[in-house]
Each structure stands twice: as C-alpha cells, then as structure tokens.
Amino acid sequence: MTPTRTPLIPREALFGSAERSNAVVSPDGHLLAYLAPWEGKMSVWVCTLGKDDARMIAHDPARPIPWLAWQGDSRHVLYLQDRAGNENYHLFHAGLDGSPARELTLGEHVRCSPLVVDHWYPDEALVSLNERNPALFDVIRIDLRSGVATLDTENPGDVINWLADNHHVVRAALAQSEDGAAIIRVRDDATSPWRELDRISAQDEIFPSLVSFSPNNRALYVITAKDGNAARLVCYDLASGGYDVVLDGTPYDVSGAYIDPATNGVAAASILRDRLEWKALDDRFEATFSRLRAMMHGDIAIPSSSADGNVLVVRVTSDTGPNRYYVFDRQTGEAALLFADRPVLLEYTLAPMTPIQFQTRDGLMIHGYLTLPVAVEPKRLPTVLFVHGGPWHRDRWGYDGMVQWLANRGYAVLQVNFRGSTGYGKAFLNAGNRQWAGAMRTDLLDARDWTIGQGIADPSRFAIFGGSYGGYAVLTALTFTPEAFTCGVDIVGPSNLNTLLSSIPPYWKPLVKVFRDRMGEDPEFLTSQSPLFKADRIRVPLLVAQGANDPRCKQQESDQIVHVLRANSIPVTYIVFPDEGHGFANPRNSKRFTALAEAFLAQQIGGRVEPRHPEEDYEPFLVEGA
C-alpha cells in the first residue's frame, strides 16, 4: 500500500550538488562569490551583483570545495580543501583574472583554520596551523601578495583557539588546563606577556567561545556559562578582569553573534530556541533586524557583508523549502533574491518540521522535532528515529535533506535533542556525562515510546538511523535493547569507545580531557559502554556505512563490529567509500548511499523507493564476507 500520493522527490534533487550555495559579498559590495558545480564538483564562482556575468575561478577535479571567503582587496578569493576526506584542510588563493589557484599552506599532513581575513588588512591573513606540531595550532601570518607565511604566535601546548584584536594582533587565547578548566588568556600587545583573564572550572562550564574584541580593543566578548546555567554573551574589561552580561537567553544558550565590519562592534546576537532568534545589541541595527524578520519567512543568518556594513548577504532557512540567499541594502531596507540553493525543490511539497517536547523516565524535559509525511494520516506510520552526531551538538529547525528524503518516502521522522546535546544550558549538557550508553540512550527509547504513545508510530516498523555519535546510538540501541527497533542504519559510528579514544586525531589532543570527562576514561567502564562487546545480541538487520579516510571514527570501528556480526550470522550490509572521510562530501556517494539505504528501509519497514539509477551503482563499494 502506497503511504502517500505526493510525488517522489528524486535523490538527485536532495543529494546532488546544490545549484549554488555559500554566497559571500565582496568587501567593496560589488561582487558575489559562491560555490556552484563544475564538472560535478562544487567550485568557486564570482559574478557582479545585479549582472549575469558569472565565471568559475577555482576548481578541484577530485573533490568539492567546502568553504570560501573574500580577500580584503575584493580581487581575490580564499578557499579550503582537503584530500579524500582526511580533514587536513589547506588554504588556497585564487584571483579573479583566471590565473591558477595558489596553495598557501604546504605540507602533506597540516590542517589550516582561517582566523582573520578582512578588509582592514587586505594583503594578509591570520590562520591557525599545526605544521610545527600535529597536535598544536600556532598562529601563522600569511602575506597574500607573496604567499610567504611566518610564525606569528606559538602555541605553548594547551591553547585550543586564538583571537586577534582589531589591529590584527593576536591578543586572546582559549586554553584548557590538565584538570579540564577553561582558561582565557590575554595580553596587551604582541610583545607583552600573557596573563590569565579568567579560569572556569570544568564542572561549571559549557566550553567558552571567544567572539571579538570591542572596537577600542579594551574589552573582550565571550560566550560562556560562567556563573549561570546557560551560555551567555558577556563582555570582559581587560584592565579589571570583570565582566558584564550582554545577553542571557536562559534556559537556552546564546549561539552566536554578528559583528558589524564597519565598526568591529557586536551588532546582534542569536539564541537558538525551537527556532533561531536574533537580538539587536546596537541601536543602529534594530531597524535592520526588524525589517529582516518582517520580510523573511524562515530563520535568518548573515554569512557576509560589505566592508561598510551596508550590503548584507542574508541566508533564510525554512523547513519546507530550500535555503534562499538574499542581498539586503541597509540604507534602503530593500532585499533582492540572489538564488535558492536547490531551486528544483520548489517544484515539490516538503514536509513541515514541528517542535515537540516530552518527559523522560526520570522527569527530564526533552525537546526535538517531528516531521510527518505529507498528505498521510499520522497514525501507526513507519517511523525513523534520526539521531544527531556530536553528541555535543543539537538538531535544529530548518531544511534537512535527509529528513525530507525520509518523510517523502513515507516515514515519520523523529529527531531528539537528548541529554548531552548543546543549546539547553550546562546542566542539560552535563546530564549526559558518562551516559553515552546510559541515560542518553534511554532518552532515545523514551522518545520512541512517546511517538508510539501518541499513536503516530507503528512499533513493529520503527528504525533507528544516525551518523557519528548517531551511528554509535544505533549500535547501542540494537545491542542493549535488541527488540526495541526493527532495523538500524549506522554511518561512521564508533563501536568501541576504547579504540575511539586511542585513535583521536592529533589536532584533538588538547580536548582529550573533555572527551574523557564526558565519555568516561576507565577502560573497563568504556568497554561496558561499547556495543562491540554486545554485538552478538543484535537480532535485526543492520546497514553500516563508512568512509575509508575517516580521521575521527576510523574504518576499524566499523570493520570490527561487522566482523563479529558476520561471525554470528547476523544480517549486516556493509559499504565503504574509498574517497570519503567522516560522512559523504561527494554528491555521487551521497546518492549511492541513500539509494542503498532507501531499498534497505523499504524492505524492513515498508516505505517508498525510487528506482536506482546507473550512476548510483553501489555494488563496487559493498564489503562482502567476514
């Protein structure tokens, strides 16, 4: 019986390359750079605002380009690229004249993260780079004219993040002590010694985030949960060390800030509740955000703006349509649509995402989202519990290709911000400590029971599906409670927490204390939390997907549990992509995987299936035998 008569949305529309995305306006306000496909890979394009003169200026034939930014001169674009999913991102420099892109960060195993690229100092960039020590990121100053890179600030061994002031002087650092405390260090100038501005105990903190210096460089904005339950935006006086609370969204965390490039002032900050909310902190931006709220139907973000702060690129996210990018003129208050990233989706009816909440067995209030297939009575539907990764992350409202794919195939889709998720304050986050296979797992079971109790889900057709920690959640659900779900889909999920911790990438080493505090560190305890050692309890079909170059959850994590399952004659389908890492960056692989997963879910719980296309052939990547 067909669950819905709404047309099937092709996998190509959902998981093929976006038509355009990641729009950023040039500092002079005249040009737009964005990502769009060329020969099947997302590449860097540039056009003049208001003109049809787009041209491609950078392309990698092996892999999609994931990130770009303008150089401050408005004549060059910077972009990042890794190799086959290894997450060793290098920085490249491309001119508008069509000359070949230049690599700025050499070395096979280095990982670069841009810190400062702006119009104030148009010929230089500050980046963090782990060339000297794979586990530590120093600050490197790159002359963008010559390409010469010089060491600017050396990591003493515990710094996780850096922040430069408005004169491009590195003057703030976020470090972690051996006992897990967060340390905020500052200095007066490039030659002054570092001093401790604040130290926040591990038990009292959602790890802070350095935001910006004040326009006069005498104060530092930080998002921190110090002295409160939720993360707040605070402003430290660098001379006295005291701070004032600028924005408090309790019980929700402050999630970000928008910096006015014209003044370097904090113009607004955001709180992610069930939906994203912005609060103007500068009176000059009150009208801007009011106008945007009135004009835009969805949640807004401002990924870029011109140097004078007058031309904004606004991204609007909706649950029932593709992401849309607009250019907004603050002086006139007018907006013009630049593009929708997947305009083909405008031809289809997408499923609304509804915020939900329920109480767990121990009385904790949990929030999440429920997406129901369109034009289907919400009674005893085949259901997919779609578990987010991290786990120090959260699901949020808006367009999600995986969710829309599942709903379109006839499934109710349940997303749960289980304890240990971010966004709901430190008590909620810390409630997940040492609970990876404990209360975090039972929160998911309680979500399952809530959906069944509402009459929405058919308990005999209930799948669990997730990636990274979500993949681990799939494995723990099927091993700890073998009868709770009909089947499972695990993408790059760890199966043994001991081997996961022992193989943490070098660049995560400063955060090992966080992992051990939140996961546990005793080998016997970690063994008890690891589905690998209970794999013989699995009774239902399982699909496992893995990237061969994953630096976080290495292929060993999937290999070892698949080996046990096959040794015990438990049905498991295993697919490994040789050119992927922690997830799927190549659209062709996304389509191959979803074609396989779609057929798997339909066989197990009865949804709809789009016939497989020749370019979605996944057989070469299936791993057979034990």
Residue of 400, 443, 446, 550 marked catalytic: 550
Residue in 403, 413, 297 with CA at minimum distance from that of residue 350: 403
Q: Are 81 and 90 in contact (CB under 8 A)?
A: yes
* CA–CA separation, 517 and 400 (whole Å): 31
601: which DSSP letter?
H
Per the structure block, which two tokens stand in for 113? Answer: 């993260």
Residue of 468, 530, 558, 590 marked catalytic: 468
Long-range contacts of 559-564 (CB under 8 A, 24+ apart): 560/495, 560/496, 560/499, 560/532, 561/475, 561/495, 561/531, 561/532, 561/535, 562/623, 563/626, 564/532, 564/535, 564/536
Residues contacting residue 493 through CB under 8 Å, at least 6 positions apart: 466, 467, 468, 469, 470, 471, 472, 473, 474, 475, 544, 553, 557, 558
582: annotated active-site residue: yes
Q: Are 292 and 305 in contact (CB under 8 A)?
A: no
Helices (H) and strands (E) in the chain, counts: 11, 35
Residue in 170, 171, 139 with CA at minimum distance from that of residue 155: 139
Residue in 176, 125, 177 with CA at minimum distance from that of residue 152: 125
Residue in 149, 174, 177, 150 with CA at minimum distance from that of residue 162: 174
Residue of 17, 60, 582, 590 marked catalytic: 582
550: annotated active-site residue: yes
Per the structure block, which two tokens stand in for 49? Answer: 């605002």
Q: Are 366 and 418 in contact (CB under 8 A)?
A: yes
Q: Are 160 and 210 in contact (CB under 8 A)?
A: no
Distances (CA, A) of 507 to 161, 393, 603: 12, 19, 41
Per the structure block, which two tokens stand in for 316? Answer: 């609007």
Residue in 44, 41, 48 with CA at minimum distance from that of residue 95: 44
Amino acid identity at 515? F
Q: Are 289 and 298 in contact (CB under 8 A)?
A: no
Per the structure block, which two tokens stand in for 613? Answer: 């296309």
β-pairing, 412-417 vs 457-467, is unpaired
User: 166: helix, coil or strand?
Assistant: coil
- Tell me which residues are annotated as active site: 468, 550, 582
